[in-house]
Amino acid sequence: MKLLTDLAIVLRVVPYEERHRIVTALSQNSGKISALAMNAVQSKRFGSALEMFSAGDWHLVERAGQNLFRLDEAKIRRSFENIRKNFETLTLASVFTELMIRLAPEGEPAPELFALHSNALAVLDERAKTWTQDFTLPLLNSFLIKLLRWNGHQPQLTNCSQCHHPLEDLELEMGATLLVEEAAWICSTCRPTTAHRGRVSMAGIQDLQNLHRIPIKHALSFALTTPADQKNIFNYLENLFAYHVPGFDKTQLKSLRFLGLESNPQSAAASPL
């Protein structure tokens, strides 16, 4: 048996028998891990460290030939408790968590994912008391585009994919068409956008580029565009996942329906914007 200590953020808790729990977490040094917490119900060894979204120092035992660790102790470092007091921040945290469950590698270090997830939860926790609906899409879009970058499927944002004019040389009032299959965009000079789905302003492309490059903690300061543009950006990013990332063309994230963002990723993948 091997003893391990790691900082972990709870992603999922499943009851096991009457008093035990199987907990899945995103860890700082080992990626996604699952552990059996014996007698977890009302145990002082764990306290609130096994609550959803909680970050804590885990003391684990790695058992030979088994993927399931034994969790001996967990000490809370940050509870992110404000997230659970607001329906929208709770729902958005659930979306982030569902994405981590589906994308984070099992038992392999993923420090960029750990930093993204922990920083996103920190934004939600700090802004929960003053959260407005206008915050939801910019933060979600920032999270999604950073996941696409980590996965190697980030869109090309600096130039029109046809005339290759740089974004900064084009007028902000011009429109653009977002292309899913090519993971790019075309300016309205190259393709009039009035007859196409996936239309967004050049300011929307600029906003998308900003969300790609800035830390997620600053995402709410760079919402240059209208809610309609932010919704189009979200649809584009979701369709990029459906088209390019294995597994996302079959099942939509369950948590999205609580944000009123339902779509059909399977048909989106089959018919790119």
Condensed to tens digits (0 to 9), the pLDDT of residues 198-212 reads: 788 888 898 999 999
Share of the chain above pLDDT 70, in %: 91
CB-based contact 78:28 (threshold 8 Å): no
Banded pLDDT at 271 (limits 50, 70, 90) = very low
Q: Which two tokens stand for residue 207?
A: 């906003």
Q: What is the pTM of this model?
A: 0.90
Query: Quick one: what percent of the chain has pLDDT higher than 90?
Result: 64
Predicted confidence (pLDDT) at residue 131 exceeds the cutoff of 50: yes
**In the chain, what are the domains?**
2-78 (2.40.50.140), 132-155+200-270 (no CATH)
Dist. CA 225–CA 107, nearest whole Å: 39
> What is the DSSP-derived secondary structure letter of residue 189?
T
**Could you tell me if 196 and 187 are in contact, meaning their C-beta atoms sit under 8 angstroms apart?**
no
Q: Is the pLDDT of residue 172 over 80?
A: no
Question: Rounded mean pLDDT of 181-192?
Answer: 89
What mean pLDDT is reported for the chain? 88
C-alpha to C-alpha distance for 180 and 184, rounded to whole angstroms: 7
Confidence of residue 269 (pLDDT cuts 50, 70, 90): very low
Backbone angles phi and psi of 106, in degrees to 5: -80, 120
Kindly report the backbone phi and psi dihedral angles of residue 154, in degrees, each rounded to the nearest multiple of 5, phi listed first: -70, 145
**CA angle at residue 237 from 164 to 34, to 5 degrees?**
135
pLDDT at 272 over 50: no
Cβ burial 87-100 (10 Å sphere, 16+ → b, else e): ebbbbbbbbbbbbb
Q: Above 70 in pLDDT, residue 267?
A: no
Ranges 67-71, 155-159, 246-250: which has the least confidence: 246-250
Which pLDDT does position 40 carry in this prediction?
Answer: 86
Q: pLDDT per residue over 33-66, tens digit each?
A: 999 999 888 777 888 899 999 999 999 998 776 7
pLDDT at 144 over 90: yes
